[in-house]
Amino acid sequence: MKTTKVRFTDPQIELAHGAGGKASRRLIEGLLVPYLENNKLTEMNDAAYVVTDREGQRLAFTADSFVVKPLIFPGGSIGELAINGTVNDLAMAGAKPLALVNTIILEAGLATSELEREVEAMSQAAQRAGVSVVGGDTKVVEHGKADGLFITTAGIGLTDPRVCLSAKNVRPGDQVILSGPIGDHGITVLLARGELELEAELNSDTRPLWPFVATLIEAAAPGLKWLRDPTRGGLATALNELSRDARVAVVLDEEAIPVRPAVRGACEILGLDPLYIANEGQFLAIVSPEYADIALEALRRTPGGENAQRIGEIQEKPERVVLARSQYGGNRVIDMLTGDPLPRIC
């Protein structure tokens, strides 16, 4: 059975095409993949695998652009995000980050102090993540032709031979583990824009995820099936992609999903669902049932992983659907993100 072919018929680009949800997927599948298609791109992971030598060593290779607004927010900034985001794409591919290259697009008129602050943030984040920045490129456009600065970070990492992460390996009965509370990053950035009369004691969760993945590999490599950090589009969109790619149902125990009261409160006021809010320091792991307890314990022992939870399981049917079991017994379908409630979140 072949996946239905997507056509991209929108006449112009809208913000929603960058939100990571349905519109993004249509743009990528309907316009980018048909031209740039190859086997590696079509599985739509955040990093690609490249075999570099005859012994079959696999390198993970990825790049992400960062356009977050505002440039700084409680708990982080664009520079820190630009390191952690790429480090995390490598980690989600089961790869230890090896080297990064940064490119920066600057707007003429940007204060040097703002640039210096972000370069320093990048340096500190790279040190924290244990990865070297080995090169870069800088472009400048006229004032008004960019928004302060945009950073793109490319990264390569060495994959751990003990794991083979792919949606294709996911089977009914596998368990869904979440590393910690969701929604902190998205709500923090939204509030930092100062457009809403709303305050909360919240910080972005931006952090490097490789230490957690390294722990998981040590403890539970044979049971590790799939990893994903739910950034744009949130947990709901990441799990919808999994359900589609693996042709399974993901059934969530919604009450088990950790959400801080401040995030829940802000979401209620704003009419948002935490399941769709972007994260920059959490991840989802699909683990075979016999390794689920071991994996969860290993995560909880890792500093920063204390709030890891088992939040659901994989079932055979209904195929390509994410369901949440509510506290009253019913099931609700959790769709992918539609539109873009929070543009420029990363």
Residue numbers 61-80 binding a second copy by CB under 8 A: 61-67
112 touches a second copy (CB under 8 A): yes
Min dist. Cβ of residue 220 to a second copy (A) = 26
Q: Residue 87: which of 106, 60, 105 has the closest Cα?
A: 60
Decide whether 105 or 298 has the Cβ nearer to a second copy: 105
Q: What are the φ/ψ torsions at residue 60 (nearest 5 degrees)?
A: -95, 140
The binding track of 82-111 with respect to a second copy, each residue x by CB under 8 A or -, is ----------------xx-xxxxxxxxxxx
Dist. CA 214–CA 62, nearest whole Å: 19
Q: Give the range of 50-58, 177-185, 248-256, 295-303 binding a second copy by CB under 8 A.
A: 50-58
Dist. CA 134–CA 5, nearest whole Å: 40
Q: Give the range of 53-61, 195-203, 211-219, 247-255 binding a second copy by CB under 8 A.
A: 53-61
Min dist. Cβ of residue 197 to a second copy (A) = 22
Min dist. Cβ of residue 234 to a second copy (A) = 17
77 close to 208: Cβ distance less than 8 angstroms: no
Q: Give the range of 145-153, 266-274, 285-293, 296-304 binding a second copy by CB under 8 A.
A: 145-153
Count, residues near a second copy per rule CB under 8 A:
81
Q: Which amino acid is at 122?
A: M
CB burial of residue 56 (10 Å; 0-12, 13-18, 19+):
exposed
The binding track of 10-29 with respect to a second copy, each residue x by CB under 8 A or -, is xxxxxxxxxx----x--xx-
Residues 325-344 that bind a second copy (CB under 8 A): 343-344
Q: Residue 49: which of 170, 166, 169 has the closest Cα?
A: 166
CB burial of residue 261 (10 Å; 0-12, 13-18, 19+):
exposed
